[in-house]
């Protein structure tokens, strides 16, 4: 194990958590923008699920912030990447799939940072959240494949489906992952 002071190790965990939080804040803004776009295009079911996934990302952003506070750090409040607007429906799901894939990869690297710096609590937090990102990834992958394989026939089936989440605020995972 590399020799680092306790303070230095703690700071590395806070940095990883803040980098993860920034990714969550970006995903929230991106998915919210898509939710409104899908709603406008009248793809209700897709709009609903993207909204629920944005709610999952909000929960993640808060979980990271709470852990940062426990470690006496200061959670970041913004993100640097730009939000992509006006995406076509096929672009959206390919984009989201790539975003979740990048997230899973990054969080696995942060997991190693936690291990290397001896923080099992934060490690468990990343493990839990990685599993949820994997479910988002699977969902986006399914939709992207449906659109790729069936195209307009699939989209015609989705058109006009309800966008309402029925007042649920539990998010996509809390509702059983799009079941």
Residues that bind Fe ion (CB under 5 A): 24, 57, 60, 133, 136
* Of residues 100, 85, 110, 87, the one with CA closest to residue 27: 100
- Cβ proximity to Fe ion: between 43 and 64 the closer is 64
Torsion, Cα of 100, 102, 106, 111 (10° steps): 40
- Cβ proximity to Fe ion: between 119 and 133 the closer is 133
| Cβ at position 96, least distance to Fe ion in Å | 8
- Cβ proximity to Fe ion: between 9 and 61 the closer is 61
| Cβ at position 79, least distance to Fe ion in Å | 13
- Cβ proximity to Fe ion: between 159 and 175 the closer is 175
123-142 in b/e burial notation, b at 16+ Cβ within 10 A? Answer: bebbeebbebbebbbebbbe
| Cβ at position 129, least distance to Fe ion in Å | 6
84 C-beta neighbours (distance < 10 Å), count: 13
- Cβ proximity to Fe ion: between 8 and 66 the closer is 66
| Cβ at position 22, least distance to Fe ion in Å | 11
User: What's the distance, Cα to Cα, between the start and end of the chain in Å?
Assistant: 44
| Cβ at position 4, least distance to Fe ion in Å | 28
| Cβ at position 64, least distance to Fe ion in Å | 9
- Cβ proximity to Fe ion: between 97 and 163 the closer is 97
Q: How far apart are CA 17 and CA 122, in angstroms?
A: 8
What are the helix and strand counts (H, E) for the chain? 6, 0
- Residue 169, Ramachandran bin (φ over 0: left; ψ between -120 and 50: alpha; else beta): alpha
């Amino acid at each position: 194990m590399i020799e680092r002071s306790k303070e230095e190790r703690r700071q590395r965990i806070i940095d990883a958590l803040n980098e993860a939080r920034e990714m969550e804040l970006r995903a929230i803004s991106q998915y919210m923008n898509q939710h409104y776009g899908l709603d406008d295009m009248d793809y209700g079911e897709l709009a609903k699920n993207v909204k629920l996934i944005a709610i999952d990302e909000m929960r993640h952003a808060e979980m990271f912030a709470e852990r940062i506070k426990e470690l006496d750090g200061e959670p970041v409040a913004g993100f640097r990447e730009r939000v992509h607007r006006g995406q076509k429906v096929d672009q959206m799901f390919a984009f989201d799939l790539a975003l979740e894939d990048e997230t899973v990869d990054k969080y696995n690297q942060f997991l190693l940072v936690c291990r290397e710096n001896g923080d099992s609590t934060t490690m468990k937090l990343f493990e839990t959240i990685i599993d949820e990102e994997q479910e988002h990834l699977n969902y986006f992958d399914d939709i992207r494949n449906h659109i790729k394989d069936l195209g307009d026939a699939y989209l015609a089936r989705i058109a006009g489906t309800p966008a309402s989440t029925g007042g649920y605020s539990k998010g996509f995972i809390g509702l059983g992952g799009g079941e």
